[in-house]
Amino acid sequence: MYPVILALDARIQSNETPELVTLGPRVKPEDDKKNMTNPVLVDVIRGTTVESLHRGAACVVDRNGKLIAAWGDAEAAICPRSSLKPLQALALIDSGAAAAFTCTSEEIALACASHGGEPIHVDRVAAWLKRVGLSHKELECGAHLPGTESAARALLRGDEKATAIHNNCSGKHTGFLCCALHIGAATKGYIAPDHPVQRRVLGAIGALCECATTNVVIDGCSAPNLFMPLRALALGWARLPDGLTKPMKAHPELVAGTGRPDVELVKAMADGGVAKAGAEGVFAAGLPDQGLGFAVKIDDGAGRAALVALAAILRKHGGFRRDTDVAALLRPAVTNWRGTRTGELRAAGPLTTV
């Protein structure tokens, strides 16, 4: 059903005996998940004592679906939230919409973004919408203040109102709209799970990640998201086509925002390596050259821990450039309102790096 997606990545076909693992419909019922005890992956230290701790699951998968490493329950169903965005953008490319609308590398990066609502993001999304004959009024993601504080302050100082274009997901939604226009579907209501665009998006994800796409939920931006095994998310990231990873690698500041550690992470990653955070403690990454995908889900939803856990795993698997100091990603400081260092986050248990 989505041959173009797989054809985009010749590396999958190059393996003559693909050891494809069918992850199938493994959405676990609530009670199973409650009884699962994942290991502590990250400690939060104040002074010299553990103040808080974060349990979670993580895994590394190759593009044939082979599980290279796992910590905790990698089969449990998790909701990838915004770490799904590059997979949601598959349909933009696969449908031919990106080519038909001559989408730039920057626009593809924005389609995969949880951006900070800064002028570099908002201006590009506005120009993209205008080029295809639309405006922010067609975006159905809801409005919120820019995530980057300086951009939020500037908006408030100018007494300007935040619109849907400032929503961190406005690039993804513009991608959905392009897809709708290209396949001749209605633009209004493009976020409904049964809209042709979303059916195509979920179909592409199911095909690439080899998982059921039946447990569909509503995301913070009102678009559909889903529960899928953590391992399936890593598999999708192992298989992301160059058409998506190259723009994300070229424009990390468009995928996130000024000063965000996500940007530093992607810049520090080995050739071609990309990563994307999701709400509720999810972080996924891909190393196209090694053909590896990574996924982390912190049980309690803490993004601060997902970043540290992913950084520790990437370090174990050669995910960083050799000339890069990643200490600030592995052991970020906790500081207080006066800037005093009061503690730090630190990979723990099976991910201990020190």
For residue 73, what is the DSSP state? -
Please list the residues that pair with 256 across neighbouring strands: none
SS3 212: coil
Residue number, 142 or 203, with CB nearest to a copy of itself: 142
Please give the residue ranges that form the binding site for a copy of itself (CB under 8 A): 27, 30, 33-34, 37, 40, 43-44, 46-55, 77-79, 140-144, 153, 156-157, 159, 167, 215-222, 227, 280-281, 298-302, 305, 336-340, 342-343, 348-349
Residue number, 56 or 291, with CB nearest to a copy of itself: 56
| CA–CA gap between residue 265 and residue 275 (Å, rounded) | 8
| CA–CA gap between residue 207 and residue 190 (Å, rounded) | 21
Residue number, 114 or 290, with CB nearest to a copy of itself: 114
Q: How far is the CB of 36 from a copy of itself (least distance, A)?
A: 9
Quick one: tokens of 33?
């998940």
Q: How far is the CB of 188 from a copy of itself (least distance, A)?
A: 15
Residue 100: count of CB within 10 angstroms of its CB: 12
Q: How far is the CB of 88 from a copy of itself (least distance, A)?
A: 16
- For helices 119-131 and 170-183, the axis angle rounded to 10 degrees is 10
Residue number, 33 or 315, with CB nearest to a copy of itself: 33
Q: How far is the CB of 52 from a copy of itself (least distance, A)?
A: 4
Residue number, 17 or 336, with CB nearest to a copy of itself: 336
CA angle 62, 199, 24 (to 5 degrees): 40
Q: How far is the CB of 37 from a copy of itself (least distance, A)?
A: 6
| CA–CA gap between residue 170 and residue 139 (Å, rounded) | 7
Residue number, 156 or 328, with CB nearest to a copy of itself: 156
Q: How far is the CB of 34 from a copy of itself (least distance, A)?
A: 5
Quick one: tokens of 184?
């001749």
